[in-house]
Structure 1
Amino acid sequence: MVMKYYNIPIFVPHEGCPFDCAFCNQRRITGADTNVTADKVRSIITEYLGTIPKGERVIEAAFFGGSFTGISAEKQEDLLKAAYEFVKKGTLDGIRLSTRPDYISTEILNRLKKYGVTTIELGVQSMDNEVLLASGRGHTKDAVISAVSQIKNYPFKLGLQMMLGLPSDSKEKSIQTALEIIALKPDFVRIYPTLVLKDTYLEKMYKSGEYIPWSVEETVEVLKNIIPMFRKENIEIIRIALAVTEEISPGGALVAGPFHPAIGELAEGEIYFDKICKIIENDKSAEVFAVNEREISKALGNGKRNIERIREKYKKEIKIKPSKSLEKGEIEAWKE
């Protein structure tokens, strides 16, 4: 039986964070703006546990939306204790949280370990100091390196988040950030293209012409470069782009930027297109391409555009077929 993983989201929007990063409006992103209490944590966890199917499963409470370790030590303990009650009873397998790199210390990490935290996600965003400064992050990449070094002294799983297209960013800088994140050896990463949201400083920068967001095409170009880099090092990419909600969509809080409901799929399609082209360049007779049966839509590309692009580029027809034996990302090709 396949193990299923569930997160119970508990949003603490902007709590613990005195910074106003140019891109950030957690209330818009999470759709939550209420003050979270220990009783609220118990209520949320109890409610969610009643909706999760029985079976082989791992369930974690997930404190997201703010910089959890920037909250007062007293409130951290109150919220963690409430979740830890469920860990001790065996109804939760752990607790995960997100925070800033400059809000990590031995004292904080000891507290997190004491109350059953299993996973820490750091909002790295960029490893370029110029980008961090332009984005109002309030720290340099040294804070990231220091935080990761401290966390690795503990048994936590470590996730690192990066953003594409921040102020002063470029394709080269984002690829370099990916390389430096890989060197830090996280267990997993999240990749977020930068969107301009209402009521953020980035919106002011955009409207004044100081900031030009990346296009979907520019973002996909970078994604298709960095996705294979993480996979080569066995670093799982657990999410690409913010979840689409009423707020994070046209007509909501979205002002500008590379919004696409399946931008990760677009990038995967480009990765497959490049692989198919490389095979054809080496073997002009290749006409049938087999891929993992779960990756057919990626190999075909958005709207089956890869078939059309191959037709235009090489003046030939190809077929893409499912395979039960191939691993994800693998391709076998032959002449029909």
Structure 2
Amino acid sequence: MERLLREPIENYLTQKRQAFAGNPLADQLRHEFPEILSRIVSDQTRYKVVGSPGKGNWTDCPWIAILDTLVTDTAQSGYYPVFLFKADMSGVYLSLNQGVTEVKDYYKREARNVLKLRAEDYRAKIDIDTNDLFEISLNSTNSNARLYEAGNIVARYYPADNLPNETELITDILHFLHLYEELNFNDTHIDENEGLTAIEKKQYRLHFRIERNSRISKKVKKYKGYICEACEFDFTIKYGDLGRNFIEAHHLTPISDLGVGQHQINIQTDFAVLCSNCHSMIHRLDDPSNLTHLRHIIKLRE
């Protein structure tokens, strides 16, 4: 597990002077290191791990990202936890960050400001730890690296001479996955394609907010318990203390149906607690609010 950070830090600058095509370290960043990281992710049907040393040529700051496919299936958009290596390999960040390519393509010179604004909004929707960093420095003049600096939501930093051991690293990764789940739960996605001009879309993205309580998911779980309401899976029975008080909260009312503004919600009727598999499956239904349909599907398979 520690190879995930140590090998790029120790070897990247040397390998960067070599040919890019067919380079073994580049291949490790694309395949081997994402596979190592994917072993920590509990639901590999929902999450995918991707890494990049660059496209066609070496990038200043290689990265390895964990993507929740309910949020995004590409590192070019959305938000996700990502290991970002500094250009001089003096250290590496674990950052909850944003995809920058689509923002850069759309907003042009305003991209940095938009990413910073979004990062502030995202931070307001999660529980911040005292160890979380709001600013990162990748020591690069590359445009994408500077956008990743602006897009950082929260981060942890590991200097090259004091990398975490396996237990510490796994603990931090799980912490960031929890933040990712919390942000996904509280975030609002906007359908910008209907009836908006390009200028209106930009204003809409910059100023639209739906305020949602970042602690709702915790309240839902405390009220409804930790047994899946679809398949009755109990994480504690399966995993012991590791699974205690673990479950995922699912909003039964699609965000698109909420409209604009503040909304009264009912923890008892507007949410369900689901295991990771059922949470993924309910989002594949034509109607992700139809818990009864999901239960019926499960019953037929018993």
Give the structure-1-normalised TM-score: 0.25
Structure (1 or 2) with the larger CA radius of gyration: 1
Higher strand fraction (1 or 2): 1
